[in-house]
Structure 1
Amino acid sequence: MSQPTPAPTAKPHSPAAPSGAPTAADLLAFVRRTAADRELVDSLPLDPEGRTWVRLEGPGGSEAWLIGWPPGTGTGWHDHAESLGAFATARGTLTENALAVRLPASGWKTLELADGLDRSRRLGEGGSRAFGTHHVHEVLNESPDTHAVSVHAYYPPLPLIRRFSRTGAVLRLEEVERPEDWQ
């Protein structure tokens, strides 16, 4: 079976960060380097039923994860609040569906999205991307039979994740998770 061609990478957006804090470019370099570490990637236990993950030491105090994706799994729509982020596919292919809009930080439960905001990209092995704060997306392993593995990094460490449901153009805030919910 041939390996998928890596998708082009996005240019990282680096808003002003505190002195010494990692930028989106730093996070992107870290996830690319880590995804290329075959020994680390191969050490992740894979579960056919659900995602698996191991916390990593990210650059400059960032939060980082190595994640295994069984066939047909995904994150659902979510954002990472005030954190910059980057991820790279180390094995398999992931699809990222994203919204090209900055959502209000608070004060809403349901939004109707305008036409033309949807973006989609496939990130094959070696594919990567960085994103800025308030980036709304979902990540999926659409393969019917192949696990995917990826590396993710966020700075500052995730203060929360907002989870959304989506029906057509309607985006609804469903849940706010805090670090204690996933660590």
Structure 2
Amino acid sequence: MPDVRTPAHPHASGHDGGPSAAELLDFVRRSAADPALIASLPLDPEGRTWIRLPGPGGSEAWLIGWPPGTGTGWHDHGGSHGAFAAASGELTEQSLAAALPTEGWTTLELAEGVDRERTLGDGRGRAFGPHHVHQVLNTSQDTHAVSVHAYYPPLPLMRRYSRTGAVLRVEAVEQPEEWT
């Protein structure tokens, strides 16, 4: 199994003139600070809810509600760069500080020291590059969280992963029509 140590590049510019990760971060922070937008999202106590938003410069954006104890599981964004910000509540992001190859593998052994964890509260956000693998969790036992996400180019697919210790395995590839 390859040993992955390449650092991520979270502020990569849009390669074809689209918005950069930093511009997407500005958009998600501004959107997360819009009380009318955040209030427009119906919240479900049992599962995540979402509304698709018009993103800047042809990007794809989402407003997402997270009931207590929910999360995404490990995934990537199909080569798109992006950003997200917490609008209310608190989210925990667990990520890998390594740029993973997007094709040609099903199992990787991760090097020591690639795991990162950060907590994002009201208004805090982060940008990431095109090879970012992470999971986002609402670890609260009683508080809903709401966040805004944006990606460029619009997500061509998402890969879902399982993780056992240092071993990361591709489990599924989802297409955009599965998310609407």
Shift of residue 68, structure 1, vs aligned partner: 0.1
Amino acid at match of 2:24: L
Does 2:148 correspond to 1:151? yes
Amino acid at match of 1:105: T
Q: What CA distance in whole angstroms lies between the structure 1 residues aligned with 2:32 and 2:124?
A: 10
CA contact (8 A) 2:14 2:152 kept: no
Q: What CA distance in whole angstroms lies between the structure 1 residues aligned with 2:65 and 2:120?
A: 15
Q: TM-score under structure 2 normalisation? A: 0.93
Q: What CA distance in whole angstroms lies between the structure 1 residues aligned with 2:123 and 2:14?
A: 27
Amino acid at match of 2:15: A
Deviations 1:42-80 (A, max 9, x none): 111000000000000000110000000000000000001
Does 2:150 correspond to 1:179? no
CA contact (8 A) 1:12 1:28 kept: no
Gaps in structure 2 of 5+ consecutive residues: 1-8
CA contact (8 A) 2:94 2:136 kept: yes
The residue number in structure 2 matching 1:13 is 11
Q: What CA distance in whole angstroms lies between the structure 2 residues aligned with 1:18 and 1:146?
A: 40
The residue number in structure 1 matching 2:97 is 100
CA contact (8 A) 1:81 1:162 kept: yes
Gaps in structure 1 of 5+ consecutive residues: 1-10
Q: TM-score under structure 1 normalisation? A: 0.91
Q: What CA distance in whole angstroms lies between the structure 1 residues aligned with 2:98 and 2:23?
A: 24
Amino acid at match of 2:103: S
Aligned-pair RMSD on alpha carbons?
A: 1.2
Deviations 1:10-32 (A, max 9, x none): x951235223x111111011100
Does 2:115 correspond to 1:114? no
Q: Aligned residue pairs: how many? A: 172
Counterpart of 1:54 (choices 48, 51, 54) is 51
Q: What CA distance in whole angstroms lies between the structure 2 residues aligned with 1:83 and 1:33?
A: 21
Shift of residue 164, structure 1, vs aligned partner: 0.1
Counterpart of 2:165 (choices 157, 164, 168) is 168
Q: What CA distance in whole angstroms lies between the structure 2 residues aligned with 1:140 and 1:133?
A: 20
Does 2:82 correspond to 1:89? no
Moved over 2 A (4+): 14-17
Amino acid at match of 1:159: P
